[in-house]
Amino acid sequence: MDSLINQLKISTPGRVCLFGEHQDYLQLPIVACAISLRISIEGKRRNDKLININLPDISMKESFSIDKPITYTQERDYFKSSLAVLLRKAFTFSTGFDCIVEGKIPINAGTSSSSALIVTWINFLARMSDQAVTLPADVLAKYAYEAEVLEFSEPGGMMDQYSTSIGGIIYMDFFPAAKVTRLDTKLKSFVLGNSGQPKNTKFILSHVKDQILEVNSILKNIYPQFSLQTIQLDDIKQFKNHLTDSQFNILNGTLKNRDLTFIARRELDMINPDHSILGKLLNEHQAVLCDVLGISTPKIDGMITAALNSGAYGAKINGSGGGGCMFAYAPDDPERVKIAIENAGGEAFIINADSGSREENMVSING
């Protein structure tokens, strides 16, 4: 016990999806950026097996014992599922912890507050375990994906866990195998706008995902060689007679988003990318998300218009959609864009790319 850490604070960033929204669960590429709004867990060791978690931001508390079998008592019981994953990986815990969770990431708004929480918690647990392990960022992301998505058969992909664990700007590809690449490009300020409209992430993800998977299934039955990863956009006209207009449009939109991500990756391979090109690509991505996938809202559309009219190069909805956040790329005058988004009814934050999950200097725990 003397060699174990007694007290620890871990924080993890939220993220925005720059390109590839609604793509990772289709094994299509994404570009994501960890942002300078973070969530933290600070905890100290107890003398028994109890875990007490204080969540003052949402006026909640949670408590359970390590020495009892884990049973889920609520939907998305992430504190327990994270512990369950680590126990299956042969981590052991001689004591419980008193913890406090605090953060600045908008909740249920498309900025990966849930994934950031799970990444933070798993990072904290691994460090405070009897093994006292510092997990590599990719392993941390893998465990978080298991705890959040696989444990509850959720429809999401891997972008959130990898982006928040690794930090910075990443390009994530899945074909022919999963691969994460850090992009060393130097982007300037964004402005994140929270609409305050609650969203049903699980429903939106399932709804959009089910549509494109149905299209994929139909076409594979007719053309076994069909692949969303390799089919060219110009070649899909041959499939039109096999699909409804709605199905053809979502196929067309999915491939447009895929190709926009490829183009954006090439631009972001440069240390100093062209702001105008990135802005144009963001706007084209938003057009598909709004007009084809139908995941934007009138309020978010108004916030995007306000941001563009105040000098932002580009803007799009962020996350699964149906509410939540948008963001604008505003390297020249982010304060002006922030005010415009606020005048359109949003809560706005100037944000920048940030590092991944990390240990922080500790402060006293408030109960």
pLDDT at 321: 87
Amino acid found at 82? S
**Between the CA of residue 341 and those of 27, 100, 309, 353, what are the distances in Å?**
33, 32, 10, 20
227 and 280 share one domain: yes
Amino acid found at 203? F
pLDDT at 25: 85
136 and 214 share one domain: no
Q: What is the torsional sign of CA 223, 226, 231, 236?
A: positive
34 and 146 share one domain: yes
pLDDT at 29: 96
* Mean pLDDT for the stretch of residues 291-307: 95
List, for residues 266-278, the tens digit of each pLDDT value: 999 999 999 999 9
In a domain, residue 270? The reply is: yes
**Between the CA of residue 331 and those of 130, 184, 273, 310, 328, what are the distances in Å?**
46, 17, 12, 12, 9
List, for residues 173-207, the tens digit of each pLDDT value: 988 888 999 999 999 999 999 999 988 777 777 77
pLDDT at 149: 94
In a domain, residue 329? The reply is: yes
Residue of 260, 262, 327, 251 whose CA lies nearest to 293: 251
Distance CA(208)–CA(213), nearest Å, equals 9
In a domain, residue 321? The reply is: yes
337 and 299 share one domain: yes
Percent of the chain clearing pLDDT 90 (strictly above): 87
pLDDT at 362: 64
Final residue belonging to a domain, choices 142, 166, 184: 184
141 and 176 share one domain: yes
pLDDT at 214: 95
177 and 32 share one domain: yes
Lowest mean pLDDT among 188-192, 208-212, 314-318, 349-353: 208-212
176 and 194 share one domain: no
List, for residues 198-235, the tens digit of each pLDDT value: 887 777 777 788 899 999 999 999 999 999 999 999 99
What is the CATH classification number for the domain harbouring 149? 3.30.230.10
253 and 130 share one domain: no
Domain count, the chain: 2
In a domain, residue 361? The reply is: no
Final residue belonging to a domain, choices 184, 204, 219: 184
Question: Mean pLDDT in the chain?
Answer: 94
124 and 166 share one domain: yes
pLDDT at 164: 98
pLDDT at 204: 77
List, for residues 5-35, the tens digit of each pLDDT value: 999 999 999 999 999 999 988 999 999 999 9
pLDDT at 367: 43
176 and 247 share one domain: no
List, for residues 154-163, the tens digit of each pLDDT value: 877 899 999 9
pLDDT at 1: 45
List, for residues 82-117, the tens digit of each pLDDT value: 999 999 999 999 999 999 999 999 998 989 999 999
In a domain, residue 357? The reply is: no
Could you tell me if 150 and 311 are in contact, meaning their C-beta atoms sit under 8 angstroms apart?
A: no
Q: What are 114's two structure tokens? A: 């849930």
* Domain with 112 in it: 7-184
Residues in the chain, how many? 367
In a domain, residue 151? The reply is: yes
155 and 199 share one domain: no
pLDDT at 60: 96
In a domain, residue 358? The reply is: no
39 and 179 share one domain: yes
pLDDT at 33: 98
In a domain, residue 310? The reply is: yes
pLDDT at 161: 96
What is the CATH classification number for the domain harbouring 290? 3.30.70.890
